[in-house]
Structure 1
Amino acid sequence: MQRLPAHTRPAAQWRGRGGTQAIARAAPEEVAVGLSFDGRPHTVLMATPADLEDLAVGFTITEAVAGRADILGVTVEKSELGWLADVRLAPGTIQRKARPRTLEGRSSCGLCGVQRLADAVRPLPAVADGARVSHQAVQRAVDALEDAQVLGRATRATHAAALAGPDGTLRLVREDVGRHNALDKLAGAMARLDHDAADGFVLVTSRCSFEMVEKTVRMGGSILVAVSAPTDLAIQRAEGAGLTLVALARADGHAVFTRAERLFDAAPELV
């Protein structure tokens, strides 16, 4: 069984009516992960040290460094300062689409270190038609995600990204202190396990910024569901790429911002 990437730390908890008492809380690990391609350093991500091969593969795909077929393998090693993940690419693979970076990628930032405005918002491919999904299936996945977050339940300090089938059943879940990292880990796991993002939908626990839309599109997803609100640019990017964007997905419902034709209201006997 994989060790939970967290440590128990003491704290003093204050409550208005109960005063102060000693408690212990699980805190998720956050470490530096150096990502390189064929031995050439590219960026440093602040991430949770679990599923790092998934993270490396997913980052490669969602940042348009290379396609899944161009990835020959990933070597992950622990160092004194953190972790190193080196992605080996097929000979002749062109990396011109990768955003050049000069700084570390913080867990809260998807574009840290990008040097030019032109690299920040890049053209997106059009998504495939994908599956049609019921509103009830979306709610089924939202309800199930809480129990599926092992690290999140223990720490209340991480994000999750999940792949759900058309019926709302969760197929894959990945967690990280960074929302972009969690989605990249999901993308990598899907690529390694040959899961098709268009055969269902992607669900994230974070707010929906435009980078989350871009990564979902590059993963091949046609529907993205976020528990929090989208930015205006996220909506624009989703509409332009043909992605169905669902947000504010809570226990009592959700809002559809783009391409609502992929969602339908299931008949009572199908719920």
Structure 2
Amino acid sequence: MTRGERIVPEEVPIAFSYGGSSHAVMMGTPADLQDFAVGFSLTEGIITDRSEVANIDIVEDEKGIDVQVTLLGDVEDALRARRRSMAGPVGCGLCGIESIEQAIRKVPDVSGIELSLTHVDIIKAIALLNDSQPLHRETRAVHGAGFYIPGKGLIAVREDVGRHNALDKLCGAVIRVGEAGASGAVAVTSRLSVEMVQKTAILGAPILIAISAPTALAIRTAEEAGMTLVALVRDEDFEIFTHPHRLSPGNIADVA
């Protein structure tokens, strides 16, 4: 046995509060919390645009982090009304018809977005993502999500111990800089569950690229949403699961 030291990622409870009321608590990496707040609010359907967030306060104590989000008046009133309508019929956290409907919610249709990538873009997106994760290089214990625009490369990368958190942070980063989701593709280091497809569609990106494999429900959801799903990217090899019309071969020699 050899003794040594290793850098490991931090994981803390991160609570999201709206209008003074706690909405959800996530276990996550305590970084990029402004992006996390905006992205979470967007992908959970609390907001539809960054401008609906009036203010974000980060309050830390020994137990965790409270991300206090202040919304515009009308949006906050709508969220409060939604909470009231969901209270009462169920007595436990994830029970009841509301939770089932939320889990399999219909996602936005991105079939009309004409973004196209070459096979070289697919390879480059994952290669750049692998090279743009400082926390992962140190710990080998976090997921990454990046936003790739052809001709520009990765304009944003976010990391977290949770793959959903990393994608939420990325969604927040993209819309906070004023970039349209339709302008690029999302690349992730994790497997593709249905939630990853849902969040990508809500961002408005028509292409989702992953190192790992998709689930059957993720494939069906991407097909219905008109999203191009590319997975199992390994060097120059990858598999296209849905809507391949957005991809063209390109010149693989250009990867270098």
Secondary structure of residue in 2 paired with 1:42: strand
Alignment gaps of 5+ in structure 1: 1-19, 102-112
- Note the C-alpha offset of 1:75: 1.1
SS at match of 1:35: strand
Question: What CA RMSD, in Å, does the superposition of the two structures yield over aligned residues?
Answer: 2.0
Decide whether the 8 Å contact of 1:34 with 1:45 is kept in 2: yes
- Deviations 1:65-114, CA, capped at 9 Å, x for gaps: 1112321121111122110101111111123778x79xxxxxxxxxxx54
Structure 1 residue 153: Cα displacement: 0.3
Q: Aligned match of 2:109 in 121, 126, 130?
A: 126
Does the aligned pair in 2 maintain the 1:209–1:231 contact within 8 Å? yes
Q: 1:10-21 residue pairs with structure 2 within 5 A? A: 20-21=1-2
Structure 1 residue identity aligned to 2:157? V
Cα offset, 1:249, TM superposition: 1.1
User: 1:87 aligns to what?
Assistant: 69
- Once the 2 structures are TM-superposed, how far is the Cα of residue 145 of structure 1 from its aligned partner? 1.6
The corresponding residue for 2:198 is: 214
| Secondary structure, counterpart of 1:26 in structure 2 | coil
Would you say the 8 A contact 2:40–2:168 is kept in 1? Answer: yes
Corresponding residue for residue 50 of structure 1: 31
Structure-2 residue corresponding to 1:249: 233
Within 5 Å, give how 1:64-83 maps onto structure 2. Answer: 64-68=45-49, 69-83=51-65
- How far apart are the structure 2 equivalents of 1:155 and 1:97? 40
Partner of residue 235, structure 1:
219
Matches of 1:130 and 1:114, distance apart in 2: 37
Identical counterparts, % of pairs: 42
Count of residues paired in the alignment: 241
Q: Contact 1:137/1:168 (CA < 8 Å) preserved in 2?
A: no
Which secondary structure state, in structure 1, belongs to the residue aligned with residue 199 of structure 2?
Answer: helix
Q: Which structure exhibits the higher relative contact order, with contacts defined as CA atoms closer than 8 Å and separated by 6 or more residues? A: 2
Which structure has the highest helix share of the two? 2
Which TM-score applies when normalising by structure 1?
0.84
Deviations 1:158-216 (A, max 9, x none): 00000011147111000000000000000011111112222121000000000000000
